């Protein structure tokens, strides 16, 4: 059940940290213009109503993310609208309330579904050479190869850095 306490954790901690994590690992840069919802019809999110100020005056945001939470439902996300350059600018997320109980797991899962809401799937990320097969982590052999999300560091240099949760360091890869 989505209690007031769980709702507070979801809104004030999980979503806040997930947005921060998502922005850090993709090195998201804010746009300069006020964002206005495209006039095109929303896809995949027919039951979500849009705020009037998002569709008329615009808001200071790069993307609008509609979030719903409920018990026992799988966590998923879908892009809802794209701009004239095919960049997703609106998405919907369904968050499983049980993920809220495990805060770190919830943050990582919500950050992942945010990436899906932005249209980033494994194929898209791999096409930009941002995935790496890893047979072990910190000396521990994994039962199967794990994919590590990579991000470019130091501007446009060729150095890549494997992203791990804060406090565990990051392995440099060539």
Binding-site members for Zn(2+) are 116
Helix (H, G, I), strand (E, B) or coil at 110: helix
Pair of tokens at residue 42 = 């929303």
Determine the distance from the C-alpha atom of residue 144 to the mean position of all C-alpha atoms in its chain, rounded to a whole number.
Answer: 24
Contact 116, 125 (CB under 8 A): no
CA distances from 21 to 16, 39, 88, 135, 169 (A): 9, 30, 18, 24, 15
DSSP code for 29: -
Pairing type for strands 64-70 and 88-96 reads parallel
CA distance 133 to 79: 27
Crossing angle between the packed helical segments 15-26 and 103-117, to the nearest 10 degrees: 60
Task: Give binding residues as ranges.
Answer: 116
Six token digits for residue 69: 């939470």
């Amino acid at each position: 059940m989505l209690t007031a306490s769980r709702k507070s954790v979801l809104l004030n901690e999980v979503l806040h940290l997930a947005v921060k994590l998502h922005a850090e690992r993709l090195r998201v840069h804010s746009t300069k213009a006020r964002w206005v919802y495209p006039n095109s019809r929303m896809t995949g999110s027919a039951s979500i109503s849009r705020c009037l100020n998002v569709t008329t005056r615009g808001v200071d945001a790069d993307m609008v993310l509609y979030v719903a939470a409920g018990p026992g439902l799988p966590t998923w996300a879908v892009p809802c609208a794209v701009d004239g350059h095919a960049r997703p600018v609106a998405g919907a997320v369904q968050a499983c309330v049980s993920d809220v109980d495990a805060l770190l797991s919830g943050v990582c899962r919500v950050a992942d579904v945010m990436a899906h809401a932005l249209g980033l799937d494994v194929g898209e990320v791999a096409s930009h050479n941002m995935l790496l097969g890893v047979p072990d982590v910190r000396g521990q052999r994994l039962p199967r190869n794990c994919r590590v999300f990579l991000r470019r560091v130091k501007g446009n240099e060729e150095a890549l850095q494997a992203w791990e949760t804060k406090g565990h360091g990051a392995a440099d890869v060539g």
